[in-house]
Amino acid sequence: MSTEIFTEDFKTDPWWWEWAPRPEPVRTAPLPADVDVLVVGSGFAGLNCARITATAGRDTLVVDAGPAGFGASTRLAGYIGRFLHYSIQKLESKVGKEKAHRLWKESGDAQWVLLDLIEKEQMDVGKLYRGRFTGACSPAHYDAMAANAEYINKNVPFEYSMCPASEQHKEVGTDFWHGGMILHEHGTLHPGLYHQGLMDAAIRAGARIEGRTPVLDIAPEPGGGFTVTTRHHAIHARDVVICTNGYSNTQRSAVPWVRNRIVPVYAHQICTDTISDGLMKDVKPSGRAVLDSKTNIFWDRPTPDDKRIIFGARTGHDDGDLRITAKKLRDLMVMVYPQLAETKISHVWRGVMGFSFDLLPHIGQTRDGVYFATGFCGSGLPLGTYFGQKVGHKLVGNPEGETEWWNHGFPTWPFYNGNPWWLPAYIRWIDFNDRRGSRGHIVRSG
């Protein structure tokens, strides 16, 4: 395969790490033998939970199998906004109209909690608050999108406007979509910088964060609390919180109840080489982040400095070699934006998202009393931040921990053990249906 599409310094690490390198853990003191709160997972949920419990005076330790933030938190696209995979009508049919509206509104509130936290902690996170364009992959998708938005707005008001195909070039420099919807309250940030800011906030509150400390087992103790066995030694913890999301299967014996309810799914992204101001304006005249109306979506956004474009697609696929993935993603990107045909790729990377079987986030406690916040289904930035904060407040008894989402039911499949062997076939089925539904395009997801 030709390497001409790659820059000379091409990397298979996230572009985000150029601005926010992952810190290698340096242990200056032995791990404690006893803690009040032990949080497993150093992503957005785990760190925000630790920030709350440490602020409340609870001795808090965060552990992670890899360097802090090495997983999806510093690999994702950095989208701010509301995002549930259910339509509000489907949620109504599942839990009833009134509860569905409360759940939908609360999931939307997550973005305001995120923005308030950034302001409170004075984080410099490369925020671009320009709204989001959701492209319709067919005229039928556009009509359904408009009808769904109108229904949502009548019940849970939000700021949006429809953009017909005739006006699309004011938003995006492509004819690929058939118009779309503009979500005016949405934005983006630099997830690496945000993770660093959240980690600093948790440490300021008194939490301790230890990377390269995989958890091997969590066992309830007869007198209360838990024995948490790590690779280094056992720790007694009064409370344990699981915030491993898409990486739950890597902690196989720690909390199998959570592991058996989370499906790990790869998400892939590429970053272009630096492009000219004129080309950026041609591709993204509004500067908005983009995603589309397929199930297996395309998404793209400018970097915070407006010098590059990050493009993602082919969720759930595994090519083995990330260079092959980069080529396929670039082909899709050029299909959407032909003017990028001469643009090289500087980075490709992937992370692991955690999907629940009902495509909803989950927060609560197991029968053994282990707290969890997980199943963010590709929306870990706002929802991970929000539910991590909720579980932290709940653990220390603060009224701010009340949520409609607490223990609302967390399904699994018979005999599922955290290994989704059937996922490749399921992804192919989704891609097939996306191709059928995207009339007017040949959408090559694979």
What number of CA atoms fall less than 13 Å from residue 330's CA on the CB side? 24
Q: What is the pLDDT of residue 437?
A: 74
Q: Which residue has the tokens 């609390």?
A: 225
Report the 10 Å Cβ neighbour count for 376.
Answer: 32
- Long-range CB contact pairs, 319-325, < 8 A, 24+: 322/12, 322/348, 322/349, 322/350, 323/1, 323/3, 323/6, 323/12, 323/348, 324/1, 325/268, 325/350
pLDDT at 436: 84
What distance in Å separates the CA atoms of residue 298 and residue 321, rounded to the nearest whole number?
20
Structure tokens at 179: 């118009």
Provide the strand spans (E) within 221-356.
Answer: 226-230, 234-242, 262-272, 289-292, 299-302, 309-313, 345-356
pLDDT at 253: 62
pLDDT of res. 354: 95
The structure's pTM equals 0.95
Residue that the structure tokens 């390198």 belong to: 21
pLDDT of residue 27: 76
pLDDT at position 438 is 65
Looking only at the bridges linking them, the beta strands covering 289-292 and 299-302 are antiparallel
Render each residue's pLDDT in the chain as its tens digit; 446 residues: 445 999 999 999 999 999 999 877 667 789 999 999 999 999 999 999 999 999 999 999 999 998 999 999 999 999 998 767 777 888 899 899 999 999 999 999 999 999 999 999 999 999 999 999 999 999 999 999 999 999 999 988 999 999 999 999 999 999 999 999 999 999 999 999 999 999 999 999 999 999 999 999 999 999 899 999 998 889 999 999 999 999 988 765 677 899 999 999 999 999 999 999 999 999 999 999 999 999 999 999 999 999 999 999 999 999 999 999 999 999 999 999 999 999 999 999 999 999 999 999 999 999 999 999 999 999 999 999 999 999 999 999 999 999 999 999 999 999 999 999 999 999 999 999 998 876 544 333 33
Q: What is the DSSP letter of 74?
A: G
DSSP character at residue 22: P
